[in-house]
């Protein structure tokens, strides 16, 4: 037989490391002691109002049933039965007929005689007074987070009398049950402590899901491309039709190379594309690069603080290559800044760093310089970007945009202009990441394919071809341009890169300025960016190879640095690379060795990190 104790309550629970005994008190004060090893606790008869409140429905406290019930719906919502707080069969039957008559269904009248008593009384029992006074005696209210009634009282005493604040201070109802067991009792205790009605205390927000779910259940059986968002440029379909092979850069799909036949490999395509750009012209889809618009009356002050460069004397309509540092003085990102006015700038970022740069800007605007009136907005997906480079570039631009004067006098290097073209406004920036004469064209995304195809149609006369990111990497390395994240690793300063000219000397402050004065960042033996070429031009260098001074490899290997970028150049007709080497700037002209995986070495010469057009004649031609 299973005994049933009516009009009774559990007075105490005791045990060591586990439940061993409970004491039951009846209404007359009689006590019964029972040995147990398991105790189940109910949260009471409470309607499942979670979905109702998640649709912004309002609840009302029922003093008879001592629970919250659905009251006023915000969305077209129908609750029935126990979900609406009806616990008798007759009331549920009547409610169904009343609320579902809008569907014009036949009235339901089920006559079932149940041996129930509709007259009942629920006594408030928010907590059970401790049977004995002891520092070890505790009255738990949330069994998942070990919250006690003493914690509730302490929170109220310390001023956390708002139910949302109390929830977070005590962690009551923050377990996986989200208060299904403890919340009503907690509300009752708080109402008594504050001498308020439970309705005045209110409830915490009922958060979805109603029941815990695994991520696998939400994702479903097959996630595939939905595992991580896949971003594509506005002319992605054009690249597909041209047979482009893609690579993942951050979340973006970027054309890696354009094979001219089914058998051409990556290396073959890169040699062909890079040679073609140097001799004729090529176009790159640079739409994936981050684009951030900065506006406000204090935009100039903000830009001077967030970047190492100074923009104060910079003329509207001009552009500047800029560096962003972290607080530790290390290079965080780079890009080109276009100054429209002192109150309006457009900054580009690396493809993978766009979100981080915007987040950094917003964080410092809110926390470090809240007095500055400045706003940032990502416009990465609003505009497509086309980079045209090569000796024939200016002739192509004159064909596509015949009304624009592209002469050096009218359109000098590192300036930009806005123009109307085919019923839309475009921005043209004279800049280059290849070392050749180049322009960047910024077009609204919805007009980008039209302009892209027009450029290709006019460019056929001048042997214009599309090229991919791998060719772009080769071309920029020949010019000595860095890629943040490849030639830097979070431990490289502008000084290490030989970019001290990009640090505003008269600026009182900027992000990372103080760290550049630390003894560690001023050491001469820090790893510094240099160029390297093999003494035997037939040798090939590989990224990641360590640089050592001695030809003989000993262990442990005394490493000077490593190769960050390496390519075979059809222009130079040999392999070359960029590397970060300890005190590398003072070693230029010296001999060193690159170690190989088979414990051999390649003799190299350390040179300046620029291999093509050192005097920039092609850039300004």
Range in 39-53, 442-456, 514-528, 580-594 the model is least confident about? 39-53
**Per-residue pLDDT band at 352 (split at 50, 70, 90):** very high
Is residue 365, in this structure, part of any structural domain at all? yes
- Statement to judge: residues 538 and 464 lie in one domain: no
Cβ neighbour number for residue 576 with a 10 Å cutoff = 25
Structure token pair of residue 119: 């007259």
Is residue 438, in this structure, part of any structural domain at all? yes
Question: How many Å apart are CA 356 and CA 349, to the nearest integer?
Answer: 10
Q: What is the pLDDT of residues 599-614, one digit of tens each?
A: 889 999 999 999 999 9
- Statement to judge: residues 20 and 75 lie in one domain: no
- Statement to judge: residues 338 and 458 lie in one domain: yes
- Statement to judge: residues 537 and 453 lie in one domain: no
- Statement to judge: residues 27 and 65 lie in one domain: no
Is residue 125, in this structure, part of any structural domain at all? no
- Boundary of a domain, candidates 460, 476, 492: 476
What is the model's pLDDT at position 178? 80
- Statement to judge: residues 71 and 10 lie in one domain: no
Residues pairing with 531 in the sheet: 578, 607
Question: How many Å apart are CA 19 and CA 31, to the nearest integer?
Answer: 18
Write the CATH number for 597.
Answer: 2.40.30.110
- Statement to judge: residues 302 and 379 lie in one domain: yes
Question: How many Å apart are CA 225 and CA 246, to the nearest integer?
Answer: 15
Q: What is the pLDDT of residues 545-580, one digit of tens each?
A: 999 998 887 778 788 999 999 999 999 999 999 999
Range in 50-54, 115-119, 120-124 the model is least confident about? 115-119
DSSP 8-state code for residue 413: T
Say if CB 475 and CB 389 are below 8 A apart: yes
Closest CA to 140 of 175, 186, 176, 180: 186
Q: Which domain holds residue 369?
A: 284-476
Closest CA to 488 of 360, 334, 310, 292: 334
Whole-structure pTM value: 0.69
Q: Residue range 22-43: average pLDDT?
A: 87
Is residue 191, in this structure, part of any structural domain at all? no
- Statement to judge: residues 549 and 575 lie in one domain: yes
What is the model's pLDDT at position 584? 96
pLDDT, averaged across the chain: 92
- Statement to judge: residues 553 and 420 lie in one domain: no
Question: How many Å apart are CA 481 and CA 500, to the nearest integer?
Answer: 15
**Per-residue pLDDT band at 389 (split at 50, 70, 90):** very high
- Statement to judge: residues 592 and 537 lie in one domain: yes
Is residue 263, in this structure, part of any structural domain at all? no
Structure token pair of residue 235: 């002319």
Q: What is the pLDDT of residues 404-454, one digit of tens each?
A: 999 999 999 999 999 999 899 999 999 999 999 999 999 999 999 999 999
Closest CA to 621 of 407, 446, 459: 407
Range in 9-13, 149-153, 522-526, 574-578 the model is least confident about? 9-13
Say if CB 479 and CB 295 are below 8 A apart: no
Say if CB 31 and CB 11 are below 8 A apart: yes
Q: What is the pLDDT of residues 205-255, one digit of tens each?
A: 877 766 767 777 776 766 677 777 889 999 999 999 999 999 999 999 999
Is residue 266, in this structure, part of any structural domain at all? no
Is residue 487, in this structure, part of any structural domain at all? no
Higher pLDDT, 182 or 257: 257
Higher pLDDT, 584 or 77: 584
Write the CATH number for 463.
Answer: 3.30.1360.120
Closest CA to 349 of 313, 326, 321, 318: 321
Strand-strand pairing, 464-466 and 281-285: parallel
Range in 1-10, 336-345, 383-392 the model is least confident about? 1-10
Total count of domains within the chain: 4
- Statement to judge: residues 562 and 414 lie in one domain: no
Local structure of 162: helix, strand or coil: coil
Is residue 303, in this structure, part of any structural domain at all? yes
Question: How many Å apart are CA 413 and CA 411, to the nearest integer?
Answer: 7
- Statement to judge: residues 463 and 551 lie in one domain: no
Say if CB 432 and CB 388 are below 8 A apart: no
């Amino acid at each position: 037989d299973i005994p049933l104790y009516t009009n009774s309550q559990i007075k105490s629970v005791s045990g060591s490391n586990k439940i061993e005994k409970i004491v039951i008190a009846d209404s007359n004060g009689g006590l019964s002691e029972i040995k147990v090893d398991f105790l189940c606790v109910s949260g009471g008869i409470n309607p499942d109002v979670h979905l109702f409140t998640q649709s912004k429905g309002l609840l009302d406290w029922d003093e008879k049933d001592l629970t919250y019930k659905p009251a006023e719906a915000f969305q077209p919502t129908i609750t029935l039965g126990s979900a609406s707080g009806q616990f008798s069969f007759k009331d549920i039957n009547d409610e169904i007929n009343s609320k579902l008559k809008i569907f014009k269904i036949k009235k339901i009248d089920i006559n079932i005689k149940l041996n129930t008593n509709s007259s009942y009384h629920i006594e408030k029992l928010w907590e059970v007074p401790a049977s004995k006074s002891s520092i070890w005696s505790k009255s738990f209210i949330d069994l998942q987070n070990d919250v006690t009634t003493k914690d509730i009282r302490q929170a109220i005493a310390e001023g956390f009398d708002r139910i949302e604040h109390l929830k977070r201070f005590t962690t009551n109802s923050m377990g996986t049950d989200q208060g299904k067991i403890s919340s009503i009792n907690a509300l009752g205790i708080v109402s008594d402590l504050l001498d308020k009605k439970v309705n005045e205390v209110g409830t915490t927000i009922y958060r979805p899901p109603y029941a815990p779910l695994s991520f696998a259940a939400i994702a479903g059986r097959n996630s595939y491309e939905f595992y991580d968002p896949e971003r594509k440029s506005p002319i992605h379909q054009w690249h597909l039709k041209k047979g482009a092979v893609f690579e993942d850069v951050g979340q973006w799909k970027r054309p890696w190379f354009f094979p001219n036949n089914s058998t051409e490999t990556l290396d073959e395509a890169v040699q062909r594309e890079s040679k073609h750009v140097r001799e004729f012209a090529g176009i790159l889809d640079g739409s994936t690069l981050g684009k951030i618009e900065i506006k406000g009356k204090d935009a100039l002050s903000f830009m001077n603080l967030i970047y190492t460069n100074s923009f104060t004397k910079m003329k509207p309509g001009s552009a500047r290559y800029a560096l962003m540092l972290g607080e530790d003085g290390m290079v965080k990102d780079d890009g080109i800044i276009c100054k429209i006015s002192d109150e309006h700038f457009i900054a580009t970022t690396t493809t993978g760093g766009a979100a981080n740069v915007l987040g950094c800007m917003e964080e410092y605007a809110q926390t470090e310089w809240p007095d500055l009136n400045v706003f940032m907005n990502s416009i990465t997906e609003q505009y497509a970007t086309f980079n045209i480079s090569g000796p024939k570039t200016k002739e192509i631009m004159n064909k596509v945009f015949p009304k624009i004067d592209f002469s050096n006098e009218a359109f000098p290097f590192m300036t930009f202009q806005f123009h109307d073209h085919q019923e839309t406004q475009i921005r043209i920036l004279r800049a280059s990441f290849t070392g050749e004469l180049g322009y960047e064209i910024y077009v609204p995304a919805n007009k980008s394919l039209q302009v892209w195809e027009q450029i290709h149609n006019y460019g056929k006369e001048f042997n214009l071809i599309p090229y991919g990111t791998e060719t772009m990497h080769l071309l920029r390395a020949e010019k000595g341009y860095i890629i943040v994240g490849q030639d830097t690793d979070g431990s490289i300063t502008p000084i290490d890169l030989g970019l001290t000219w990009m640090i505003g000397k008269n600026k009182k402050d900027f992000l990372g300025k103080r760290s550049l004065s630390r003894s560690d960042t001023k050491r001469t033996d820090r790893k510094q960016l240099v160029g390297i070429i093999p003494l035997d031009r037939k040798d090939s260098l590989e990224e990641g190879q360590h640089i050592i001074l001695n030809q003989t490899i000993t262990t442990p290997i005394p490493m000077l640095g490593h190769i960050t970028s390496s390519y075979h150049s059809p222009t130079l007709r040999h392999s070359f690379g960029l590397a970060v080497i300890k005190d590398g700037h003072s070693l230029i002209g010296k001999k060193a060795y690159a170690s190989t995986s088979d414990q051999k070495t390649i003799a190299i010469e350390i040179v300046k990190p620029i291999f093509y057009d050192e005097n920039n004649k092609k850039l300004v031609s």
